[in-house]
Amino acid sequence: MTKSKVNCEHACKTTCAMLNEALRKETELIQFHEAILEECNYPEVREFITDIVDGKRELVLKIIQKLNEMHASGQINDGIISSFNYNSGITD
């Protein structure tokens, strides 16, 4: 297996390049394991691979949830910052 080069941009605000890459890879792994299931007819192996797929799906949902949280948090922070910028020009 080759190691892919993934660099963190360290500029996360509303999303994360690393989590997006993890999401892409995990989705590819689900597709790979589902292809195995299509070919395999041995019950013990099918059950094992099915458990792996289920775990990967849970992981994908967790990654999506974290990305959604980051997006929402970024929007809230943007709103707070813009309200300070707007209000900073007001004088008594």
The answer on pLDDT for 24 being more than 60 is yes
Q: Give me the pLDDT at residue 86, please.
A: 62
What does the alpha-carbon distance between residue 17 and residue 38 come to, in Å, rounded to a whole number? 32
Residue 7 pLDDT class (50, 70, 90 cuts): confident
Q: How big is the chain, counted in residues?
A: 92
The answer on pLDDT for 90 being more than 60 is no
Total number of domains constituting the chain: 1
Q: Is residue 87 part of a domain?
A: no
Q: Is residue 47 part of a domain?
A: yes
Q: Is residue 70 part of a domain?
A: yes
Average pLDDT, stretch 25-39?
96
Q: Is residue 61 part of a domain?
A: yes
What does the alpha-carbon distance between residue 67 and residue 79 come to, in Å, rounded to a whole number? 18
Q: Is residue 2 part of a domain?
A: no
Residue 44's domain comprises 17-76
Half-sphere exposure of 64 (CA within 13 A, CB side): 9
Q: Is residue 89 part of a domain?
A: no
Q: Is residue 8 part of a domain?
A: no
Q: Give me the pLDDT at residue 79, please.
A: 66
Phi-psi bin for 8: left (phi > 0), alpha (psi -120 to 50), beta? beta
pLDDT tens by residue, 47-81: 999 999 999 999 999 999 999 988 888 776 666 66
Residue 4 pLDDT class (50, 70, 90 cuts): low
Whether this model's pTM surpasses 0.75: no
